[in-house]
Chain A
Amino acid sequence: MTNSILLLPIYVPLFCGLVVLALRKSQRVKEGITFTATAINFLFAILLFKHDIVVSLPWAGFGMEFSLRLYHFSGFILLAVAFFSFLISLYSVSFMRSKEKLNQFYSYLLLSLALVNGAVLADNLILLLFFWEGLLLTLFGMIAIGNKGAFKTAVKALVIVGISDLCMMVGIGLTGHLAGTLKISEIYVPANTIGSVAFVLLMIGAIAKAGSMPFHSWIPDAATQAPLPFMAFLPASLEKLLGIYFLARISLDMFKLNAHSWLSTLLMVIGSITVVLAVMMALVQKDYKKLLSYHAISQVGYMILGIGTCLPIGIVGGLFHMINHAMYKSCLFLTAGSVEKAAGTTDLEKLGGLGRKMPVTFICFLVAAASISGVPPFNGFFSKEMVYDAALERGALFYVAAILGAFFTAASFLKLGHAVFLGQLKDAHKNVKESSPAMLVPMMLIAGGCILFGVYNVFPLRHFIQPILSVQLLNVPDFSGFPSNGMIVLITVLVLAGALFHHVTSAKIMGGGHKAAEHIRHAPVLSGIYDRAEARLLDPYDIGLRVVHAICRVGWWIDRAIDSVYDRFCVSISQRCSNVLRSLHNGNYALYIIWALIGSVAVVFYALQ
């Protein structure tokens, strides 16, 4: 096996993506190429896993090399990425049919896959950024081909992610300068003052890619406007994998953060805030996809919190949560697509009682929802327990935030499931049928994965996650099996039971599953905040734009002021000067004689001296 085989996971999807883009018609051919390419890519990923390969080619000079490195961690992410893109391409084939306008979607999907593979394998920071930022283009394209008005969200996403990527670019420049190399595997930067600046800049890029607060606000907008497989593909799985992968790389390898660093606390604070605020927003959503998109933000908080603790159990938990989240969240989005395709809407008020009509979708939803809520013995439970354990060790407040997030997560999924699948079947949906096998198979496979990774968590932990750390920390204790801390498990179970009790009672009082969270929506202090959030007053993007516009006004005034110096001041000065000179030449002979005399006297004096 030659080393250049490592280029194939980048070139194959890239080439196929370009071919698909060039093809004008024939939807079937595009689907076929996409499916085959993702399948081949999946095969590559399986074959390459557990190998160590390094490739290095000359590229742009100045330390910028085209160097790729396959080792355990990147191989694992490569595998996960390949798995999800394979299933989502299978799903899209059925979902996208009859949506001819969206046929650019396939080429963007393949191009994204190529870029993600490149970013995961890159062993040079600039090469990483090249692929990483290139994702902006496919992101922009995928959102822009959505429904009318989607381009505004596409622009918003491009601005938010573009700006954070610029921060990352500066961070990379600084890291390269401090470390003296851009080769990721050789970089070590101590987290002193200037090192911390570099870390924060890189972290901004990583968590913005993962969709954490305050870089999240395009995701809920995209949820309702972009084509659905996009949501399952980029924000729910691939971008999370990539963002958290890079976050782990910088905090574990490149900066070797420890628990005493303020950067660790910063990460934990960002994580906790993201968990709580996003889940509070999720709770009151009235749209299936939008609700899920807020959870996609909220769950990132757990990963950042876990990695931010800088404790082995937290890091393992965070990384385990990353892969678990990609599974259950893409599964949830796929169920949303299944419901949308069958019922024609994702508005919770118009849905209900679909459980009997779509049993497979319902079961998949149940498994994934139980996972995300952290119900034992599904996979989300185990990863969350580890994060809780680490958070509690670092500070009770972080633990409270995490457990609060768990309560609201459970509450909002009870509300969602109740509103969509239980209750009264609406008249409009009497003839609803279960989706086609091409859509069901990916959901079932992922749901099966959720159970497998939960019940038999020894397998993912020992084979995928823990070896990642063993490079850095020589003795990683084995965290597989049932959580050791019984107290935390007990609290979790109590909280989940509380959420169930809360839902049942409030649904009964409010009348209907979709209204179960209304009393929180209208609680005294919260209602004011929710009102503002729903009026889009709290969107960091809008606030940021307003601030920037204010600054730009100042810049504009400065510019106009300088311009008026040229247009008014210079003109009037020269006019005055010429007026004075003109008044000396008024045609009066007497005046001219006086000038001549003064002049001659001056010459004489000069000559005498």
Chain B
Amino acid sequence: MILSAVLAPLLGAFILPLVGKFSKPVRNILALLLVVFPLAISLALAAFVLNGRDVTSIRILPLGFNFIFHADALAVFMAVVSSLISAIIVIYSFGYISHYDNQNEYYMMVVLFLGAMMGLIYAGNLIFLYIFWEITAIASWRLIGFFRAKTDVLKADKSFLVTIFGALMMLLGFALIYQQTGSFDLAVIHERFKGEPISTLAVGLILIGIFSKSATLPFHTWLPDAGVAPSPVTALLHAAVLVKIGVYAFARLFVVTIPLLDYWHSVIPFIAGISAIVSAAAALIDTDLKRIIAYSTISQIAFIFLGLSIGNEVGIAGGLLYIFMHGLAKAGLFLCAGIVEQNTKIKDITQLGGLAKTMPVTAISFLFCAFSVMGIPPFGGFFCKYMVMAGALQGGHLFLAGMFLFGAFLTILYLLRVFTMVFLGESKTSEAKEGDPVMVFCVALLAVLSLAGGIFIYYPNQVVTNVVQQMLVMHK
């Protein structure tokens, strides 16, 4: 069952261009189906995994490397979140991408990306984790360079090189683990590291990979540069899915599988704290709409790292919840930016203004998503921010909490700055109309989900609590 969730989009992606030769609507529907399919499978698995608290795994052994897919609560949670958000983004693309060339390639890469993402999530073996990791890098390289201008291609190359560099470092780290344990199988590695600490070098190398994928200081600058991509791509890559790969790998490796030594619980949050502040500061100075939101992603990813790396239950739960809430809200922000950009042809916020009058739904959706990222109740982001902070305080890291408090201040400032400059005040552009109904529907849906996620916090938190318990039970 897990295998089909991975292989369907992975292989189906290559059929899409062929179908696209004959009929565009069929291709679009097929692309959506290929994204919804893993969502359905993961939901079915979720019912199984969360209720029975049982770990299902399928093993096929065709090669020397064990070909293992493994679904536990964490994997299912992550799979549901990323395929749900991807599905909304694909629907949005129907409206957005129909204006441009190379649509076949676009849908192929998006679906391929999601397939690789599913593979990465369910992989129970470090080598397969690495392979899927690289497939996502290739797909995102093509997607960032979707518009063929020279600078666009250069930025795509930059992000590809940075993430590949990180991935190779990570591979070295995996090799070191192999040296220590003699296996790439996560379950085996987990058993081996129960008594014995992992070498600092291996952790450091793997962290380089994780940080470069999740755009954390000092490997973050490719992310704002990748804002040249079409908006659904930036939403998919920067907000919802790609940057969460690193976070997920962190949770998978260093929370579930390998216990870290104590000092990492201070060092990693500290790096994340600096990342949060520097990127938030950059977001407050920059004037390009999509770059600002991209910087905001870097800064919020740092909050997720804080939660996951602090090493207590509340923090981990807050971090996981934030993966979900941030994905929703940030995808909403990027997609709103896409509507603004497509209708006004301007990305510089100093030249925009007063759009709330002509695009009211987009403006309100943007505001809702922004409130969620700021952490204002009753939006979902509020609980995540609190839980992450509470995690830091329970760990006794008052200084870290202070750093992130400052980061949260800046979040309020830069998001309100963007909102004010783009949607309020005097209109500086010629009459801009509201976007395509499909696109507006998608952003409104994301905004409503962000709101509902906070009001009905009982349900997501029930799931997250379950996931965390399972993660930590495995620890013992």
Interface residues, chain A, CB within 8 Å of chain B? 58-62, 64, 126, 129-131, 133-134, 136-137, 151-152, 155, 158-159, 162-163, 165-167, 169-170, 172-174, 176-177, 194, 197, 545, 548-549, 551-556, 558-559, 562-563, 565-567
Contact = CB atoms under 8 A, between A and B. Distances in A.
6 contacts: A62-B314, A155-B416, A158-B412, A553-B285, A554-B281, A566-B221
B313 to A, nearest CB: 7
A407 B191 CA distance: 77
A559 B313 CA distance: 33
B376 A159 contact: no
A172 B390 CA distance: 8
A440 to B, nearest CB: 37
Interface string B410-423: 10110010001000
A183 to B, nearest CB: 15
Given A548-B413, A552-B285, A556-B281, A177 B221 contact: no
B19 to A, nearest CB: 39
Given A151-B424, A553-B285, A170 B377 contact: no
Nearest to B466: A61
Contacts of B266: none
B92 to A, nearest CB: 26
Contacts of A159: 412-413, 416
Top 4 A-B residue pairs of the complex, sorted by shortest distance between their CB atoms: A555-B281, A552-B281, A173-B390, A563-B221
Contacts of A197: 398
Interface in B384-402: 385-387, 389-390, 392-394, 398, 401-402
Among A126, A167, A551, A556, the one with the most B-chain Cβ atoms within 10 Å of its Cβ is A556
Contacts of A558: 278, 281
B475 to A, nearest CB: 18
A162 B412 contact: yes
Contacts of A559: 221, 278-279, 281-282
Interface stretch (B30-38, B112-120, B457-465): B457-465
A549 B410 CA distance: 10
Given A555-B281, A559-B281, A563-B221, A167 B389 contact: no
A549 B376 CA distance: 23
B458 A158 contact: no
Contacts of B178: none
A440 B279 CA distance: 54
A151 B284 CA distance: 19
Contacts of A163: 409, 412
The prevalent SS among residues of B at the interface is helix
Given A126-B386, A134-B377, A555-B281, A59 B158 contact: no
A173 B389 contact: yes
A134 B408 CA distance: 17
Contacts of B462: 61
Contacts of B387: 62
A176 B390 contact: yes
Interface of B: 158, 162, 217-218, 220-222, 225, 277-282, 284-286, 313-314, 317, 371, 374-378, 382-383, 385-387, 389-390, 392-394, 398, 401-402, 405, 408-410, 412-413, 416, 420, 424-425, 457-458, 461-462, 464-465
Contacts of B412: 158-159, 162-163, 166
A547 to B, nearest CB: 11
A548 B285 CA distance: 11
Contacts of B218: 562, 565
B378 A130 contact: yes
A134 B285 contact: no
Contact of A166 (B392, B409, B416, B424): B409
Given A60-B457, A172-B386, A559-B221, A133 B377 contact: yes
A555 B394 contact: no
A126 B377 CA distance: 10
Nearest to B374: A162
A61 B389 contact: no
Contacts of A551: 281
Nearest to A66: B458
A163 B317 CA distance: 24
B473 to A, nearest CB: 16
A126 B318 CA distance: 14
Contacts of A548: 284, 409-410, 413
A272 B424 CA distance: 38
A568 to B, nearest CB: 12
A177 B401 CA distance: 13
B191 to A, nearest CB: 30
Contacts of B390: 62, 173, 176-177
A158 B457 contact: no
Contacts of A563: 221, 225
A130 B458 CA distance: 14
Nearest to A197: B398
Given A169-B389, A172-B386, A155 B376 contact: no
A280 to B, nearest CB: 29
A555 B377 CA distance: 29
B410 A129 contact: no
A60 B458 contact: yes
A133 B408 contact: no
Contacts of A60: 383, 457-458, 461
Contacts of B416: 155, 158-159
Given A59-B458, A166-B405, A558-B278, A134 B376 contact: yes
A129 B386 contact: yes
A559 B277 CA distance: 10
Nearest to B318: A62
A170 B405 contact: yes
B398 A173 contact: no
A554 B383 CA distance: 31
Contacts of A176: 390, 393
Given A170-B389, A197-B398, A151 B162 contact: no
Nearest to A156: B416
A545 B412 CA distance: 12
A171 B425 CA distance: 35
A163 B415 CA distance: 13
A172 B278 CA distance: 26
B386 A552 contact: no
Contacts of A136: 376
Given A169-B386, A551-B281, 14 more contacts: A62-B314, A62-B461, A131-B377, A134-B377, A159-B412, A166-B405, A170-B393, A170-B402, A170-B405, A552-B281, A555-B277, A562-B218, A563-B225, A566-B162
